């Protein structure tokens, strides 16, 4: 029994060690996050460029192409490359008109980021060109109906206009053959649009990169805002001024408000009728009076 105890302890120690090591790998695997997706993915003259996610290291990138947004195929020269650009001229031959779509994903230690689709910095046969006009509450996306795809497929070839506020994902879209007008937009906000060709509802070619514009405010709203600002400033200025005047200048105000007062010379003299002369008292020397020498009182209380 005593000789078997050390062996049992060793076996228990090895078991605990392997269990701890197993849990360590599990925790490390669960804590490992996929790399951040690339940003600013765009094509200019068949050169695809992008920027890696923030603070990403030991990351490679893979570029893929597709004709109708269904099956994505790796670009042979751009599989798990460490650089941030790829020459994609090879993909132009994969479609009759060279209308292919491109995307990039980041990879690290077997984990991949979400793929990010590329856009084109200029319009061409497979990428629509457009201009924007903004009005209060609305946005017009000017598109041409005369393009190569429309010549071949008529109204089956349309524009898909994605739109949304700047900084948000452009999830809303409208399809039309030519110009698209968007209504009900919030005034004073910047809105962005991205346009892509579609054929029978399926995306074709690269979309035109985002363009953003400010939706102006209506004159009525601007007047209301200006009036509100004036009222607020008036309240901020007038209330302290009024309090100051009432507390420290009330005596001066009261004095200024008093009317001028002059007392006429005949204010105390009674106005007499015109036919009567004023009674002027005579001097004491001119008055006549009798001297009373004595006063007697009878029994009945009468003076004599």
Q: What is the per-residue pLDDT across 151-161, written as a single tens digit (0 to 9) for each?
A: 888 888 899 99
Residues 6+ apart with CB under 8 A from 74: 62, 63, 64
> Where exactly does CATH 2.60.40.10 map onto the chain?
39-120, 131-214
Verdict on whether the full-model pTM lies above 0.95: no
Q: At the topology level of CATH, where does 131-214 sit?
A: Immunoglobulin-like (2.60.40)
Any idea which residue has 């078991």 for tokens?
A: 15
- The top-level CATH class assigned to 39-120 is mainly beta
225-280 residue pLDDT tens:
666 777 777 778 778 777 776 666 667 776 776 666 666 666 555 555 555 555 55
127-133 LR contacts (CB < 8 Å, sep 24+): 127/196, 127/197, 127/205, 127/206, 127/207, 127/208, 128/159, 128/195, 128/196, 128/197, 128/208, 129/208, 130/159, 130/193, 130/195, 130/208, 130/211, 132/193, 132/211, 132/213
């Amino acid at each position: 029994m005593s000789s078997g105890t050390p062996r049992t302890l060793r076996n228990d120690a090895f078991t605990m060690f392997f269990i701890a090591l197993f849990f360590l790998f599990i925790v490390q695997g669960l804590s490992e996050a996929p790399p951040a997706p690339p940003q600013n993915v765009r094509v200019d003259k068949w050169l695809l460029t992008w920027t890696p996610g923030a603070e990403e290291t030991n990351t490679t990138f893979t570029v893929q192409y597709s004709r109708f947004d269904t099956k994505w195929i790796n670009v042979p020269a751009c599989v798990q490359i460490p650089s941030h650009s790829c020459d994609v001229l090879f993909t132009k031959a994969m479609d009759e008109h060279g209308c292919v779509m491109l995307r990039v994903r980041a990879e690290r230690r077997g984990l991949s980021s979400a793929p990010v689709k590329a856009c084109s910095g200029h319009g061409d046969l497979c990428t629509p060109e457009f201009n924007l006009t903004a009005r209060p509450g609305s946005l017009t996306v000017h598109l041409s109906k005369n393009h190569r795809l429309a010549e071949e497929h008529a109204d089956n070839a349309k524009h898909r206009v994605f739109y949304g506020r700047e900084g948000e994902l452009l999830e809303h879209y409208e399809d039309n053959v030519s110009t698209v007008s968007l209504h009900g937009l919030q005034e004073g906000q910047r809105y962005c649009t991205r346009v892509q060709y579609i054929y029978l509802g399926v995306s074709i070619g690269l979309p035109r990169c985002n363009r953003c514009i400010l939706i102006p405010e209506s004159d009525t709203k601007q007047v209301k805002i200006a009036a509100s600002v004036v009222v607020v400033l008036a309240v901020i200025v007038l209330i302290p001024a009024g309090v100051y005047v009432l507390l420290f200048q009330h005596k001066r105000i009261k004095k200024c408000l008093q009317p001028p007062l002059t007392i006429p010379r005949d204010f105390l003299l009674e106005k007499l009728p015109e036919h009567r002369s004023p009674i002027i008292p005579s001097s004491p020397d001119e008055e006549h009076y009798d001297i009373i020498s004595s006063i007697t009182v009878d029994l009945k209380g009468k003076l004599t």
